[in-house]
Structure 1
Amino acid sequence: MTNGNGTPPEAGLPPQLNVLAQYTKDLSFENPNAPASLAPQPQQPNINIQINVGANNLSENEFEVTLSVEGKAENAGTVMFSFELAYAGVFRILNVPQENLHPLVMIECPRLLFPFAREIIATAVRDGGFPPLMLDPVDFVGLYRQNMERQAQQPMQS
């Protein structure tokens, strides 16, 4: 079935991205050396952060996207604190061409989730007795490209 101009009816509809839900799937904060780790330290701790994005197709137009953030602060080989957060959202995406769907899910959806995950981490670190850890903004386009290149370099598995 087509419109009078030969295009499918949905072709004229604007793309839609709706957030249906947001939630913490998993949160862990460890402060293994307290109270000693809370004393003034001679130097700033070395902080290592890892961020990953995963997605599950829930239905034809709905996707669960999970932003996973892990971090650890160490000073002279001693762990000051560590955390793991899996923060997710359910997104409904309509009227988006198939070739644009994967980048939208893996770039725009985590970009929408990130400020909330950042706040949860800052609060958890502060509640652990440390100054709040404010994560720098993430280049989700760069992260997406990096992951696509890594997948392209992996040999095909049969």
Structure 2
Amino acid sequence: MAEQDQTPVFQIQRVYLKDLSLEQPNSPQILLEQEQPQVEINLGIEAQPVAEGIFEVAVVATVHTKIQDKTLFLVEAKEAGIFEIRNIPEEQVNPIIGIACPQIVYPYLRAVVADAITRAGFPPVHLAEVNFQAMYEAQQAQAQAQANGGGSPIITSA
């Protein structure tokens, strides 16, 4: 029975829309503009423990579309998932939280953002695919560089 208690567990408990905001502060006047808008997209990942072996991982997107210096629309969305992660070696937990969990949540976020923008009366903005492994590795390299006194990260080859 003790062996069963040590079985590695990685399960999705729930995926949900945690936050969604859409603003059109300069409507309706800006809707008459004929210029092509500039689109700025920012992505982030948030993670926090909820209980023993249970984590909430959220992917946050901000889409800010402007014509010159005036906002056409601003969408902020946070899609989250609750994940059970148990009996997995400690050195593997952070990569699961930083890579696997966001990969599961992100397609939902992409759909929510495109849908919200379409419902606001604009052509959808489709968020690009994201390589969460590369994003995670870059964050780890940056953290390592800061730990080494702000110098460039130490690169080792296998």
Q: Same fold by TM (over 0.5)?
A: yes
User: Structure 2 vs 1, CA of residues 99 and 115 (structure 1 numbering), >3 Å: closer, same or farther?
Assistant: same
Contact kept? 1:10, 1:95, Cα under 8 Å: no
The count of corresponding residues between Structure 1 and Structure 2 is 149
Counterpart of 1:9, as a letter, is: E
Contact kept? 1:22, 1:88, Cα under 8 Å: yes
Corresponding residue for residue 85 of structure 1: 77
TM-superposed deviation, 1:24: 1.9
Aligned-pair Cα RMSD in Å: 2.4
**1:39-58 paired onto structure 2 within 5 Å:** 39=32, 41-43=34-36, 45-58=37-50
Contact kept? 1:53, 1:67, Cα under 8 Å: yes
In structure 2, which of residues 16, 24, 39 is the aligned counterpart of residue 23 of structure 1?
Answer: 16
TM-superposed deviation, 1:96: 2.1
Contact kept? 1:20, 1:89, Cα under 8 Å: yes
Counterpart of 2:13, as a letter, is: L
Gaps of 5+ in 2: 149-158
In structure 2, which of residues 66, 71, 91 is the aligned counterpart of residue 99 of structure 1?
Answer: 91
Contact kept? 1:38, 1:130, Cα under 8 Å: no
Contact kept? 1:27, 1:84, Cα under 8 Å: yes
Matched residue of 1:58: which SS? strand
TM-score normalized by the length of structure 2: 0.82
Q: Distance in 1 between matches of 2:126 and 2:105?
A: 15
Q: Distance in 1 between matches of 2:51 and 2:35?
A: 53
Counterpart of 1:76, as a letter, is: Q
Q: Distance in 2 between matches of 1:127 and 1:36?
A: 19
Counterpart of 2:22, as a letter, is: F
Corresponding residue for residue 129 of structure 1: 121
Corresponding residue for residue 151 of structure 1: 143
Counterpart of 2:12, as a letter, is: V
Corresponding residue for residue 9 of structure 1: 3
Q: Distance in 2 between matches of 1:140 and 1:155?
A: 22
In structure 2, which of residues 17, 25, 33 is the aligned counterpart of residue 32 of structure 1?
Answer: 25
TM-superposed deviation, 1:34: 1.4
TM-superposed deviation, 1:9: 2.9
1:122-142: CA deviations, max 9, x gaps? 111111110111111111111
Gaps of 5+ in 1: 1-7
Corresponding residue for residue 138 of structure 1: 130
In structure 2, which of residues 40, 43, 56 is the aligned counterpart of residue 64 of structure 1?
Answer: 56
Q: Distance in 1 between matches of 2:127 and 2:40?
A: 11
